[in-house]
Each structure stands twice: as C-alpha cells, then as structure tokens.
C-alpha cells in the first residue's frame, strides 16, 4: 500500500465572504476567471467535464472552455466520442475549474445542449488547419491499430486542404452547458474552507454558504 495520509498543506491565499459575492453567479465566475487570467495561469480555461450515460457509470475528462456568456459555457467535441454518447443518453453534466495557485475551484452543473450548426461551423473554420485536419481524421474514443494509421489520415487531410477547404464533419460540433447550480470554493486555513452555492429557483438565484 502507498500511504499518503501525511501529505498536508495549508491554504492561505485568501478568503470569500458572502458580502463579497457578485449579484449573480455568472458575474462571480467572470470576476474569478479574469483574476485567474491576470495571474497568467497555465490552461486557465481547462475544465473537468463529468458525464454519466444511461448505465449510470460516471466518466470525467479535461476539455477546454471556448466561450461563455450568461446563457452557458461552451466547448467542442466529436458527438460520437465517449462523452458525446453519454450526453446523448443523459444531458445532465458538470464542469469543474480548479486554479491551484489561487486555491480556488468552481463547479457548474446543468443540462448540455448542442450548439447550432452555424455556431459549430463558425468555430471550426476559425481553428488552425492542423486542428481541423485532426478533427476530420480522428474518430474520437474509438480504437485504432496504430499511430501510423492516424498520421496517414491526418496527412491525407492536410494534402486535401491544398485543393479544397476542409469542412466540419457532421459528427463534430459544440455543446453549451446551461447552468442550474454554481459552487465557489476558496481554500482556507485549517480546512475551514469557504463554500457558496448558487441554485436556480423560479428564475432567481438562491445563495447559501456550505460547510466545508
């Protein structure tokens, strides 16, 4: 057995009081996101995405937040990937941002919906050539016999791009998580962390402090 019970560290970066919260969880997210950007953290837009399919078996992975507003938080993926299949069976999901340097995390849960074809086309066409070629040549989450097969498909798409624009595959596009719950966590000394949950209720946000 590998014993890590003695691993300890204190959380002393800051605190979070209810009087400091913004009037809406979206504005609080924007505030913290901008502060994380100002610190020039690596992969500030990286978020864990948790999904659960019809069999009730959860799965989590890192994806990148691409754009957001009050209506929701958006990322892009292959609809036929493992997470895509999960979301087709169960639209409920959760995203988690963890910024170690600021000793902060934000959880956001709700329902995921597909973005429109126009939105997905627009983003796909903004991507670098290599990213577009990779999305076309890779059938995400499916087995492949060797890396060389992937590279051959990729190089074929790069070559094809010299004659025609690479178009978005129908199996690839965006999702928007429509928030129903937010939770903001600020690490504190002695493990008495600050936690606040925002829950949507009849079109309004209810705020409450949670015990750590």
Catalytic residue numbers read 191
**For residue 54, which phi and psi values (nearest 5 degrees)?**
-65, -25
């Amino acid at each position: 057995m590998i014993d890590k019970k003695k691993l300890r560290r204190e959380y002393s970066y800051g605190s979070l009081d209810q009087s400091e919260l913004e009037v809406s969880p979206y504005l609080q997210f924007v505030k913290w996101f901008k502060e994380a950007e100002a610190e020039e953290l690596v992969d500030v837009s990286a978020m864990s995405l948790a999904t659960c399919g019809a069999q009730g078996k959860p799965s989590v992975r890192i994806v990148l937040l691409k754009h957001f507003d009050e209506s929701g938080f958006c990322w892009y993926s292959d609809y036929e990937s493992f997470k895509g299949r999960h979301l087709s069976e169960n639209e409920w999901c959760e995203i988690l941002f963890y910024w170690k340097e600021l000793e902060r995390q934000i959880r956001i849960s709700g329902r995921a919906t597909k973005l429109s074809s126009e939105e997905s086309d627009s983003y796909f066409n903004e991507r670098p050539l290599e990213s577009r070629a990779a999305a076309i040549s890779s059938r995400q989450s499916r087995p492949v016999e060797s890396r060389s097969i992937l590279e051959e498909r990729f190089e074929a798409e790069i070559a094809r791009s010299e004659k025609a624009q690479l178009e978005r595959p129908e199996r690839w596009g965006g999702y928007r998580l429509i928030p129903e719950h937010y939770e903001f966590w600020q690490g504190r000394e002695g493990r008495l962390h600050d936690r606040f949950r925002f829950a949507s209720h009849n079109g309004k946000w209810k705020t409450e402090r949670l015990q750590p």
